[in-house]
Amino acid sequence: MKTFTPSEITHELRRLIGTRRVVAIIDEKVDRLHGTLFPFEKIVIEATEERKTLATAEEIVHQLLHLHADRDTLLLGIGGGITTDLCGFVAAIYKRGVPFGFIPTTLLAMVDAAIGGKNGVNVLNFKNMIGTIRQPEFVLTCPNLLRTLPPKEFRNGVAEMLKTFIISGQNFGESGSFFAENELDTIFCTEAKMAQLCHFITESRAVKERIVKEDEQEQGLRRLLNLGHTFAHALEHCAKISHGEAVSIGIVCAAKNGHCKDIDLIVNTLKQCNLPTEIPADIDKKMLLEAISQDKKIAEGRCNLIVIHAIGDVRIIPTAPGAILC
Ligand code: GLY
């Protein structure tokens, strides 16, 4: 996977799109900061979890109809995971499916949300309860777009990246030290640090792509990528907490449930990267377990819990919700 500079991305987009019509579905913040890079017809959206709903998907469909977008129109999702999820979902249902591509603009979307083909919307505050699995034609990564990302958003991506490296067993220590030592603004100060960032993005994305290629429909191996997410989605349901923070706490819960031999290293690394490692004290554990029991991964009363035995040794253990440690 290659990463692109802003001028390369314009060129690459032109090559990939050819003569096709494009409608961009773009986060309003991204449009304000980087909109001139993307001279397409646009549907500008407010990308919040609260607005990642069927109603918003329907509003986008209305706008596509208003623009007379047809079945050959390519939808280009430009933004973080909320935007790419909405775009991919609408592309799957509009006129029974139109082509789509992504330009992720957050670290989390570059390494996780925009990769893998799962796209969907929230229902009743439950994350991604309705969705589709359909691969984008392309996902173009331009790390320069991260310059304008708020530090908290950047850390959300670091959490997903560390999750992926715990699964693969590679790059965990190196990336952990890099992100512990470098805030976003210092990374953009030197070529060498930028190159390191691009390297970790590429490695993390490659792990996910390898797994998705082997098991797109999530029948087995792909479930490993849900590491920390059973807890994370339940935490997000119960409290106002960002996805990356929830994943970070979820990783520690997964390590506890796997009696992980590397738990101290994992907890210390997450802490050094300014990520939380404990369930907030004001969260009612009963409510949390109730939310866990709504998890999409529950089947026959058991949750396919992803637990960490060690870095590089992550396993799927069917567990009754009542037996989950959190
Ligand atoms: N879009 C995220 C995934 O497929 O995992």
Rounded mean pLDDT, 15-42: 96
Is the shortest distance between the CB of 116 and ligand 1 below 6 Å?
yes
| 60 vs 10, more confident | 60
Distance 198 CA to ligand 1 centre (A): 20
What 3-state class would DSSP assign to 140?
coil
User: Where residue 185 falls among pLDDT bands split at 50, 70, 90?
Assistant: confident
Q: Given the CA of residue 84, which atom of ligand 1 is nearest to it?
A: 1
pTM score of the predicted model: 0.93
Q: What is the pLDDT of residues 204-255, one digit of tens each?
A: 999 999 999 999 999 999 999 999 999 998 998 888 899 999 999 999 999 9
Domains 6-148 and 151-323 fall in the same CATH topology: no
- Residue 297: is its pLDDT beyond 70? no
User: Where residue 296 falls among pLDDT bands split at 50, 70, 90?
Assistant: low
Give the domain ranges of the chain.
6-148, 151-323
Distance CA 9, CA 256 (A): 43
Q: Given the CA of residue 112, which atom of ligand 1 is nearest to it?
A: 2
Is the shortest distance between the CB of 118 and ligand 1 below 6 Å?
yes
Q: Where are the alpha helices (DSSP H) in 116-190?
A: 151-168, 172-181, 184-187
Give percent of the chain with pLDDT exceeding 70.
98
- Residue 287: is its pLDDT beyond 80? yes
User: Where residue 64 falls among pLDDT bands split at 50, 70, 90?
Assistant: very high
Among candidate residues 113, 117, 120, 110, the one with its CA nearest the CA of residue 133: 117
Q: Which residues contact 109 (CB under 8 A, 6 or more apart)?
A: 79, 80, 81, 83, 84, 102, 157
- Residue 173: is its pLDDT beyond 70? yes
> Closest residue (by CA) to atom 2 of ligand 1?
113
Distance 189 CA to ligand 1 centre (A): 31
Q: Is the dihedral of CA 99, 223, 153, 158 positive or negative?
A: negative
Which residue type occupies 281? A
- Residue 155: is its pLDDT beyond 90? yes
Is the shortest distance between the CB of 113 and ligand 1 below 6 Å?
yes
Give the CATH number of domain 151-323; options: 1.20.1090.10, 3.40.50.920, 3.40.50.11540, 2.60.40.10: 1.20.1090.10
Structure tokens belonging to residue 107? 């670290």
Give the CATH number of domain 6-148; options: 3.40.190.10, 3.40.50.1970, 3.40.50.800, 3.40.1260.10: 3.40.50.1970
As a whole number, the mean pLDDT across the chain is 94
Q: What is the pLDDT of residues 109-129, one digit of tens each?
A: 999 999 999 999 999 978 889
Using CB atoms within 10 A of its CB, is residue 266 exposed (0-12), middle (13-18) or buried (19+)? Answer: buried
Question: With contact defined as beta carbons under 8 Å apart, do 115 and 205 qualify?
Answer: yes
